[in-house]
Chain A
């Protein structure tokens, strides 16, 4: 079974802080994704990485950056946290071959005060 692990289930930070969210997958997947999930809006893609050191902006990249130095680890960085970044953050990975689906972690609920 694919395992996608997000380092924190709950996180509380203050406005202006630099925040790091970590995600690790154990299946040697090439592709990794960061989403945020908000009520009524569903999952929205923040950033995508198709391989080590490769990244692509998603639909809502403003205020975020990412890092992928190793294949199994994909980090989401909030450069200067703001209250409108309070949300559930979900990480996913997939094998790039064919129609392989995305596999998700259990999310990090981030509150910015």
Chain B
């Protein structure tokens, strides 16, 4: 079993819809939870991160962590075609900042 599970998609939504992405993980020691966005033929870029359980909002993006169920979510409101990318969840493994990546979910937002 992988330490971080993520549905690969593709997830196709119409422009303006809410995109809901999620990951599950098995290691209860994870404390920081990162979300990266990766466009085709580019490296991942950090979207946002949260510490422990709770919500964090940044513009159209909201990240949620439920440590009791080991469940991580990312919501994108008012989705745009420019949000079409692969989204990677990545809990932090240790104090050196090593990350355990999920396989990524491909999102396609159609105009």
A47–B11 alpha-carbon span in the complex (Å): 32
Q: Given A101-B46, A106-B41, A106-B43, decide whether A31 and B104 contact each other with a Cβ distance below 8 A.
A: no
B42 nearest CB across to chain A (Å): 5
Contacting pair A45 B46 (CB below 8 A)? no
Q: Is the CB of B43 within 8 A of A96?
A: no
Q: Does A13 contact B (CB under 8 A)?
A: no
Q: Is the CB of A100 within 8 A of B97?
A: yes
A42 touches B104 (CB 8 A): yes
Asked if A31 and B96 make an inter-chain contact with CB atoms under 8 angstroms apart, the answer reads yes
Interchain CB contact under 8 A, B97 and A103: no
A102 near B103 (CB under 8 angstroms)?
Answer: no
Chain B residues positioned under 8 Å from A106 (CB to CB): 41-43
On chain A, which size bracket covers the interface?
Answer: 20 to 34
Taking A48-B96, A99-B97, A107-B41 as given, write out 8 further A-B residue pairs in contact, using a Cβ cutoff of 8 Å, ordered by the A residue number. Answer: A31-B96, A42-B6, A43-B99, A90-B44, A92-B43, A99-B51, A101-B49, A102-B99
Determine the distance from Cα of A99 to Cα of B33 in the docked complex, in whole angstroms.
10
Which residues from A are CB-within-8-Å of B6? 42
CA distance A40 to B42 in the complex (A): 17
The answer, yes or no, to whether A94 is at the interface (CB within 8 Å) is: yes
Contact of B96 among A35, A41, A50 (CB under 8 A): A50
Alpha-carbon distance between A33 and B99 when the two chains are bound, in angstroms: 10
- Bound form: Cα–Cα A84–B102 in Å: 21
Are B45 and A96 in contact (CB-based, < 8 A)? no
**A50 CB to nearest chain B CB (Å):** 6
**A42 near B43: Cβ-Cβ < 8 Å:** no
CA of A104 to CA of B90, assembled, Å: 14
